[in-house]
Structure 1
């Protein structure tokens, strides 16, 4: 798949995501409330700082994007 086609697909996906977000502002955040709270995501809270490393969440995103790109390839 060539570069312009990928950019068009990403743009369309973002547009659809934005329309869904605007159509249901109360329910949309609940759909992704699991993101960043999966087992394997690292949260370190200290009195002076906090660190968040979403390892498992990023693996899930990577697998989903890989499957999506393979589907459209």
Structure 2
């Protein structure tokens, strides 16, 4: 059981490192994230509310497909 947990921790850590590298080097190309149509943004003088519903739906779809791919091959 410990062997399986270690394998999953390594996979998750590798994914986090890859995402970090992508954000570090391509941050200027990722400006559209959080600004998709359907993201709710309310800005007033002393108040800001931001709810990225479309971005989260897109992220959920991408992560679901990614984890199904991993599950199929591991």
* TM-score, with length taken from structure 1: 0.77
1:58 aligns to what?
56
1:43 aligns to what?
41
SS of residue matched to 2:59: helix
Change (3 A) 1:39 1:19: closer
Count, aligned residues: 67
* Runs of 5+ unmatched residues, structure 1: none
- Give the 5 Å matches for 1:26-41: 28-41=26-39
* TM-score, with length taken from structure 2: 0.76
What is the root-mean-square deviation of aligned Cα atoms in Å? Answer: 1.7
1:9 aligns to what?
11
Q: Determine which structure has greater relative contact order: mean sequence separation of CA pairs < 8 Å that are 6+ residues apart, divided by chain length.
A: 1
* Runs of 5+ unmatched residues, structure 2: none
